[in-house]
Amino acid sequence: MSNSSKPRYQQLKDLIIRQISSGALGPHDRVPSENELVERMSVSRMTANRALRELTDEGYVERIAGRGTFVSDFRSRSHMLEVHNIADEIAQRGHQHGCDVLRNSRQHARGEIARALDVEQGTDIFHLLLVHFENGAPIQVEDRHVLAEFAPECAGQDFGSVTPSAYLTSIAPLQEAEQIVRAQLPNAAVRRHLQMPEGEPCLVVMRRTWAHGRPVTFARLHHPGSRYELTGHYTPPGTSKSASDNVVQLENLQR
Amino acid sequence: MSNSSKPRYQQLKDLIIRQISSGALGPHDRVPSENELVERMSVSRMTANRALRELTDEGYVERIAGRGTFVSDFRSRSHMLEVHNIADEIAQRGHQHGCDVLRNSRQHARGEIARALDVEQGTDIFHLLLVHFENGAPIQVEDRHVLAEFAPECAGQDFGSVTPSAYLTSIAPLQEAEQIVRAQLPNAAVRRHLQMPEGEPCLVVMRRTWAHGRPVTFARLHHPGSRYELTGHYTPPGTSKSASDNVVQLENLQR
DNA sequence: TCCGCCAAGTTGTATATACAGGCTAGTCCA
DNA sequence: TGGACTAGCCTGTATATACAACTTGGCGGA
């Protein structure tokens, strides 16, 4: 589909997003200033401003008055029920991350996996099985399936040093994710990998992630219940710092 | 703090948000049009447009070209690690909600509770203990402490018909919440209330909620692991519908 | 009566212009 | 040499204006 019907501020946004997604612009790189966009793209400054402002709201770029506009460091983002990279999370706690890769094989999707990824039975996928360690203690079993078409270089990756999550977001930005959180007893294999005593439950996160408009990876993440918890911080729409700090009266905005 | 330093589009947003929060404007009510704001608030139309457009992005209002701007139906919103009211959640599934109130007493905060609510040891609080049922099966044990100062009418409430969560949000809007999710084995009392077999884990949500700028309630919510899961949907900054629909070339925006 | 058309109001976008305020690098002066 | 200052760029905001597209209601003609 062509873009001839899109508003120009959206075309500008698309242009910049594409340059970020493609890697032409990396984190901390400078994005053209409003005035440069005015000249090179033949738009008015307000249009360029809207494009850049919305990209700021959406987390793609950061703007500093007087300096310029810069591509965000995606790694520094943090969200609600955050879509964590376990390695970053561990680093944030000042602990050491380790990782054993138990499996990295090419397979054919079947059953639950094919349904989760919304592909035909038999579609090529990579199956990864990793154990993540925090200061030497096993903290997560990552059982992940990735569409081979989406990440053809999976086989050659050293997931001991770059987590699958980090690798995948480096290929294409995360568009959407769906998570299900459960408490359940682990099976024998998971229990062994996590070195858990019998009877102890796991906190299980099942996560599907979208890119290019379709699900590309499905992960089951098992954590030992006694050593792991999920935290979330919720700020509702319009805590707007001002809900109780609001002295504006109708007909009386201050200039 | 005054608002004299806020930009005018923000003042406009605050104004409208306040009218929505206070109930002066309810779902589906009509919000002043851009031209009305231009006249009544003495701003330019672009400023009014920005205020209303951002309120749209933030989910407060919906706009229909040719018709007007209308307050969103908040019930249709959904959030990441959603701050659920268990009764609404059950109703949404088309099931029947029931509730036993096991305890509703006035106590003095001590230890963990005082710390969680950030008050002195001995501060007056209400302690609620409820079991929620979905189609007759116990689905949640709600062990909640509420600052008595914040909700003095707690003792007189019939929490069998209005859940504490609904009651508390009716007193003051939720400002902020912090959640911790764990998998753990229940103690004997919880296990009995939830009618769980021995050895089955609970999904536990611990939630602190802020209002008026301080924590006002702390809840421990136990759910049977075999019959309950948390779901979250994550849409990052900029799903922009267009990432893969992008044929714009540099120096060649279409007009 | 009924259908079609148009006017008025609304949102959506685009532009030109203006001023305020932050940041930086380079210049000039002591 | 070192420090203060300023010119120039940047973002942030605000306004006036314009045109397009959509919706509704009312008016007029068949």
Total domains, chain B? 2
Q: Is residue A156 part of a domain?
A: yes
β-pairing, A68-71 vs A61-64, is antiparallel
Mark whether A62 and A149 lie in a shared domain: no
State how far the Cα of A110 lies from the Cα of A127, in Å rounded to an integer: 12
Q: Is residue B81 part of a domain?
A: no
Counting Cα atoms < 13 Å in the Cβ hemisphere of A128 gives 31
Rg (C-alpha) for chain B, rounded Å, is 23
Of B200, B229, B254, the CB nearest to A11: B254
Q: Is residue A199 part of a domain?
A: yes
Please give the C-alpha separations between residue B130 and each of B19, B165, B199, B215, B221, in angstroms, as whole numbers: 34, 12, 23, 21, 10
Two tokens, residue A122:
């038999």
Residues of A in contact with B78 (CB under 8 A): none
Residue A191's closest CA among A127, A145, A131? A131
Contact map slice: B 124-183 vs A, CB within 8 A:
173-183
Burial class (CB in 10 A: 0-12, 13-18, 19+), B209: buried
Mark whether B62 and B153 lie in a shared domain: no
Residues in chain A, overall count:
255
Chain A within 8 Å of B235 (Cβ-Cβ)? yes
Q: Is residue B161 part of a domain?
A: yes
CA dihedral over B26, B27, B29, B32, signed as positive or negative: positive
Domain of A51, CATH number, reads 1.10.10.10
Nearest CA in chain A to B245: A1
Under the phi-then-psi rule, with left for phi > 0, alpha for psi from -120 to 50, and beta for the rest, what region is A23? left
Q: Is residue A240 part of a domain?
A: no
What is the ipTM score, two decimals? 0.56
Q: Is residue A140 part of a domain?
A: yes
**Structural domain that includes position A66:** 8-76
Domain of A128, CATH number, reads 3.40.1410.10
Per-residue pLDDT of chain B (255 residues; tens, 9 = 90+): 445 578 999 999 989 988 887 778 888 899 999 999 999 999 999 999 999 999 998 778 899 999 999 998 754 333 334 556 788 777 767 678 889 999 999 999 888 899 988 888 888 999 999 999 988 889 999 999 999 888 877 777 787 778 888 788 777 666 677 888 889 999 999 999 999 999 999 999 898 888 776 889 999 999 999 888 877 666 543 333 322 222 223 333 444
Last residue of a domain, one of A76, A106, A136: A76
Q: Do A1 and B245 make contact, defined as CB atoms within 8 angstroms?
A: yes
Mark whether A201 and A156 lie in a shared domain: yes
Own/partner long-range contacts of B151-156 (Cβ < 8 Å, ≥24 apart): B151/B126, B151/B216, B151/B217, B154/B104, B154/B106, B154/B126, B154/B128, B155/B104, B155/B106, B155/B126
Burial class (CB in 10 A: 0-12, 13-18, 19+), B160: exposed
Q: Is residue B231 part of a domain?
A: no
Mark whether A53 and A130 lie in a shared domain: no
